[in-house]
Amino acid sequence: MAYAKALEKAGILTKTELEKILSGLEKISEEWSKGVFVVKQSDEDIHTANERRLKELIGDIAGKLHTGRSRNDQVVTDLKLFMKNSLSVISTHLLQLIKTLVERAAVTGSSLMPQKKNPDSLELIRSKAGRVFGRLASILMVLKGLPSTYNKDLQEDKEAVFDVVDTLTAVLQVATGVISTLQISKENMEKALTPEMLSTDLALYLVRKGVPFRQAHAASGKAVHLAETKGITINKLSLEDLKSISPQFSSDVSQVFNFVNSVEQYTALGGTAKSSVTTQIEQLRELMKKQKEQA
């Protein structure tokens, strides 16, 4: 309909012709909505079916609608309109997720975990990554070896696009629900921490001492192996044990085995330090403020 109006504006259609075409298109849209549109065997695709039906309704004037554009143009336009609308919906769900994250970030204190401990919703969300990447792989396979022109093979991309949009929309809604009702037990989280999680920090400690990263990484691996051999956790290794692996270890290595220090050392943009996280939260608040002003 928008294209018909553009043709009238360009002088290709008269006002009367435009009115007839719009009336015919509305009738066709109604037939599709009610499920009474009849597709004939001679129809090559949905485009020719609509054109044939429009001609049945208003006569030869229907042929003017095809002026200056192809079916491929229609497909591109339709897909752009679909994606524009879909991105708007996804953006709304993303903002709701951001809002929930920011609100939860401001909550302090701890509470007991609910009796239901199986993270069903999160597991389902995680599994959807495989579905989405699978769709990408299927489209890449379709594109493999195609000549540089439009090919009917590309009709396969529509199903993938629609499915990914539906999947992402559902995932964002579920994720928002999970986070909004999530109860965090700091005590249980602290109990789940293990010194082995800091083995990378041990390597970074050596890097700061001037040891090349590859050597530092190897030394960290040796420390983990030595601790396993002795049947102890890595933080229980003596300074002598560590010095036997690298002479760069000194008494200040004990600071490595501190989970708070581990988190606070990453102060770069997007890092885990409290100052960095606070900055990220403020940026999200500013984003929500701008979105609200533009709404």
We report the CATH number of the domain holding residue 32 as 1.10.275.10
At 106 the pLDDT is 58
Residue indicated by tokens 């294209």: 3
Q: In this structure, are residues 245 and 226 in contact, taking their beta carbons and an 8 Å threshold? A: yes
- The residue among 166, 185, 204 that closes a domain is 185
Residue 281 lies in a domain: no
Domain that holds residue 91: 74-185
We report the CATH number of the domain holding residue 252 as 1.10.40.30
Give the number of other CB atoms < 10 A from CB of residue 142. 16
Do residues 173 and 222 share a domain? no
- Residue 101 token pair: 């994250």
pLDDT digits (tens, 9 = 90+) for 247-286: 999 999 999 999 999 999 999 988 999 999 999 999 999 9
Compute the CA torsion angle 124, 128, 129, 130 (nearest 10 deg). 110
Q: How many domains does the chain have?
A: 3
C-alpha 198/C-alpha 75 separation (Å) is: 53
Residue 284 lies in a domain: no
Residue 276 lies in a domain: no
Averaged over 232-243, what is the pLDDT?
Answer: 95
pLDDT digits (tens, 9 = 90+) for 33-80: 999 999 999 998 888 999 999 999 999 999 998 888 888 888 888 899
Do residues 17 and 80 share a domain? no
- The residue among 11, 37, 69 that closes a domain is 69
We report the CATH number of the domain holding residue 93 as 1.20.200.10
C-alpha 260/C-alpha 270 separation (Å) is: 17
DSSP H helical ranges for the chain: 2-9, 15-34, 46-58, 71-105, 120-143, 156-181, 186-192, 199-208, 213-230, 239-245, 259-264, 274-294
Amino acid (1-letter code) at residue 24:
G
Q: In this structure, are residues 260 and 233 in contact, taking their beta carbons and an 8 Å threshold? A: no
Q: What is the DSSP letter of 171?
A: H
Split at pLDDT 50, 70, 90, the class of 184 is confident
Do residues 6 and 22 share a domain? yes
Do residues 176 and 113 share a domain? yes
